[in-house]
Amino acid sequence: MTAALLPSIAIVIASMNRAAMLRECLASCGSQSEPPDRLAVIDGGSTDGTRDVIREFDSLVTYSISEPDKGIFDALNKGLRHVRPDDYVLVLGADDRLYDDQVLADARRRIAADPGHSIYYGRVQMVEEDGRETATRGVPWEAVRAGHLAGRLSGMPHQATFQRAESLLRFGGFDARYRICGDYDALFRVLRHEPPVFWPDRFVARMRRGGISTEAGSELAVLRERVMLCWKHGLLGSWLRQRLALARRTLVAG
């Protein structure tokens, strides 16, 4: 299939004071056999040399900005202003790396072979602080559909998810009120109407533990945001259960 017939891919990266890790992330994007069509780096005003790192990848980065933002999803929305509606968007953190040099080439061909879906996703390899590869994330939609649509859990790591930009932009992008669950919310808005396509045999990224969703103590913050998500989407039964779970965890936490 000629390049002109393959779907376009945009990568959006949010970063704050992660210069060394951002260099690794961008290097993994630059080493792709087929680079992204667009790559936006949104930096929150870092003071650790991040802007110098971005300049090292001038030929790869199609848009960048370094200024204070209101959180991860506010930053990602800035990036979304520089993608095209027909792009498939992959969101990475500075701590993430593409799994191998064929990720984007493979994703383009898989999407082209099964067109017409808003969301495609694969798997993520978790990496511990000491470099050990441990758990993996990403499970079949059938296994998590009920829980996902009830606002309870997600088996779709954003580092492995290609979402058509139009399906994000029609809702105004990410809901920047979230600190952790904004990606879940963006997926939920689409998945309640159409199923995704899962690639069980394709690892898309390596994810280091230590991001905001994997930090120690993040469990209460996730519960609070799931309460918010359930209320926003009218999932009243799940909202009540999540409220009770949050109350119990808050009491235990003291």
Distance CA 171, CA 191 (A): 13
Which pLDDT does position 219 carry in this prediction?
Answer: 84
Verify that 160 and 253 share a domain, yes or no: no
Query: Is a pLDDT exceeding 50 seen at residue 201?
Result: yes
Indicate the DSSP class of residue 158.
Answer: G
Distance CA 123, CA 202 (A): 6
Verify that 26 and 104 share a domain, yes or no: yes
Query: Is a pLDDT exceeding 70 seen at residue 215?
Result: no
Which pLDDT does position 4 carry in this prediction?
Answer: 65
Query: Is a pLDDT exceeding 70 seen at residue 212?
Result: no
pLDDT in tens, 6-23: 999 999 999 999 999 999
The count of domains in the chain is 2
Verify that 234 and 110 share a domain, yes or no: no
Verify that 145 and 224 share a domain, yes or no: no
Whether 61 and 23 have beta carbons less than 8 Å apart is answered as no
Closest CA to 187 of 141, 231, 220: 141
Query: Is a pLDDT exceeding 60 seen at residue 211?
Result: no
The phi, psi pair for 42, rounded to 5°, reads -110, 110
Which pLDDT does position 129 carry in this prediction?
Answer: 85
Whole-number mean pLDDT of the chain? Answer: 93
How would residue 206 be classed by pLDDT, with cut points 50, 70 and 90?
Answer: very high
**Percent of the chain beyond pLDDT 70?**
95
Query: Is a pLDDT exceeding 50 seen at residue 216?
Result: no
The two structure tokens encoding residue 200: 């069980």
Helix intervals (H) in the chain:
19-30, 50-56, 72-80, 103-113, 141-149, 165-169, 182-191, 218-232, 236-253
Domain range for 50 is 3-212
Distance CA 41, CA 22 (A): 9
Verify that 149 and 195 share a domain, yes or no: yes
Neighbouring-strand partners of residue 63: 40
Region 55-61: mean pLDDT is 97
Neighbouring-strand partners of residue 15: 43
Query: Is a pLDDT exceeding 50 seen at residue 29?
Result: yes
Which pLDDT does position 12 carry in this prediction?
Answer: 98
Which of 153 and 226 is assigned the larger pLDDT?
226
Verify that 194 and 105 share a domain, yes or no: yes
Query: Is a pLDDT exceeding 50 seen at residue 41?
Result: yes
Verify that 132 and 243 share a domain, yes or no: no
Verify that 162 and 228 share a domain, yes or no: no
Indicate the DSSP class of residue 137.
Answer: E
Verify that 14 and 140 share a domain, yes or no: yes
Verify that 28 and 139 share a domain, yes or no: yes
What is the SS3 assignment for 6?
A: coil
CATH of the domain at 134: 3.90.550.10
